[in-house]
Amino acid sequence: MTYRRGEPSRRPVPHSVGGMRVLVTGGAGFIGSAVVDTLSARGHEVVVLDVRPPGPDERRPWVVADVRDPAAVESALAGVDAVCHQAAKVGLGKDFADAPDYVSRNDLGTAVLLAAMASAGVRDLVLAGSMVVYGEGRYECGRHGVVRPGPRAEADLRAGRFEPGCPRCGDALGPGLVGEDAPTDPRNVYATTKLAQEHLASAWARATGGRAVSLRYHNVYGPGMPRDTPYAGVASFFRSALARGEAPRVFEDGRQRRDFVHVHDVAAANALALEAMGDRPSDACVAYNTGSGDPHTVGEMAHALAAAYGGPMPVVTGEYRLGDVRHITADPARLRAELGWRAEVGFEEGMTEFAKAELG
């Protein structure tokens, strides 16, 4: 089965849910546009707010504005029941000079949005969270149990020692699935801004009696994924390389583990979270890992994409980026148990489709 942008998900629409009017910020983006399509297909009315203009065939209400513009946000909120906040500056960026723009767009932007929601009396928020808030994933040492390795030293990376060791004894560690209650440890500016968004949402919920959910997305991929830029995800780099006839260049030794989750599954998680808002307690922001629960290495992902594309096959380069974590894989049990969500697009199926999909 193949998926295209605009195609509704296979999930049945619950009959009990009346149509809501939802403001989707960042609704022109990779994930936001999939959320918009899924919400529309499930009978909700969608208002988009994005700095990018709508496509020529767009019929939904669309506010071309920056989320930091209080007047524009206020008008976009008219008659809205809930907000799905996807707008953000994403990726690792070029260098530290990007920091003010990340903080401004992601944190000032969220604060302006929440303040406008507080005045408009809009009480329900679903936030595009991220697994980057955890830093390194979960690790166990044979002697010391669950441990938290710090950032990897550049000297180790340069020498090809990619696996973090036990911070107490230096032994090799076994990676596991991270749960939502793991301590947060953002390792770069973007990660810091994503964590601050959650803290702002919690503060807003307490102050206003609002209800907030943060869906901590893992590595989202699928049709419409942005092309390679300093802000794109690894699947996009590989896909763009293949399109140029080049071999995907896999950093480190290719054994770093990630959870690749399809954009349609992420869009469905947003819809389920919005539809279940009425059942949750106010005054809190609750986090949910939004990952497939089926980890793969970056090398496996490159291999699956290249094979489905018809080559060239990936090369493992030993390059590294400071600030990248070694392994980060999700335990989506809470999302399954509380929202009845599960990933429907499997790794092989999704990568085979993505190898042929159009990029954004």
Ligand X SMILES: NC(=O)c1ccc[n+]([C@@H]2O[C@H](COP(=O)([O-])OP(=O)(O)OC[C@H]3O[C@@H](n4cnc5c(N)ncnc54)[C@H](O)[C@@H]3O)[C@@H](O)[C@H]2O)c1
**Footprint of ligand X (CB under 6 A):** 25-26, 28-32, 50-52, 66-68, 86-90, 105, 109, 128, 130, 194, 217, 219-220, 226, 233
Q: Which is nearer to Zn ion, 149 or 314 (CB)?
A: 149
Packing angle between helix 298-309 and helix 347-356, nearest 10 degrees? 50
Comparing CA positions, the residue from 254, 351, 359, 268 lying closest to residue 13 is 268
Nearest Cα residue to 17 out of 302, 309, 274: 274
Considering only residues 32 through 71, tell me which ones interact with Zn ion, judged by CB under 5 A: none
Q: Does 166 bind Zn ion (CB under 5 A)?
A: yes
Least distance to ligand X from the beta carbon of 32, Å? 5
For Zn ion, the binding residue among 168, 227, 321, 342 (CB under 5 A) is: 168
Which among 42-50, 99-107, 170-178, 253-261 is the span making contact with Zn ion, rule CB under 5 A? 170-178
Angstrom distance (rounded) from CA 82 to CA 73 = 13
What distance in Å separates the CA atoms of residue 202 and residue 181, rounded to the nearest whole number? Answer: 15
Sign of torsion, CA 185 188 191 193? positive
Phi, psi of 232 (to 5 degrees): -90, 165
Q: Is 143 in the site for Zn ion (CB under 5 A)?
A: yes
Q: Tell me how far, at minimum, the Cβ of 269 lies from ligand X, in Å.
A: 12
Q: CA 218 to CA 29: how far, in whole Å?
A: 17
The one-letter amino acid at 277: M
Residue 144 touching Zn ion (CB under 5 A): yes
3 is catalytic: no
Which one of 125, 141, 213, 277 is in contact with Zn ion (CB under 5 A)?
141
Considering the candidates 102, 134, 139, 190, report the single residue annotated as catalytic.
190
Residue 166: contacted member of Zn ion, ligand X, none (CB under 5 to 8 Å, by partner type): Zn ion
Min dist CB 321 to ligand X, Å, is 16
Strand, coil or helix: 259:
coil
Contact between 117 and Zn ion (CB under 5 A)?
Answer: no
With respect to Zn ion, which residue has the nearer C-beta, 143 or 161? 143
Side chain identity at residue 22, one-letter code: V
> Cα 169 vs. chain centroid, distance in angstroms?
34
Residue of minimal CB distance from ligand X? Answer: 29
* Closest by CA position to 87, among listed 60, 68, 100, 59: 68
CB 169, min distance to ligand X, A? 33
114, amino acid identity: L
Which partner in Zn ion, ligand X, none is near 217 (CB below 5 to 8 A by kind)? ligand X
Shortest distance (Å) from residue 286 CB to ligand X: 17
The C-alpha angle with vertex 343 and arms to 93 and 190, in degrees rounded to 5, equals 15
Interacting residues with Zn ion (CB under 5 A): 141, 143-144, 166, 168-169, 171
Active site residues: 190
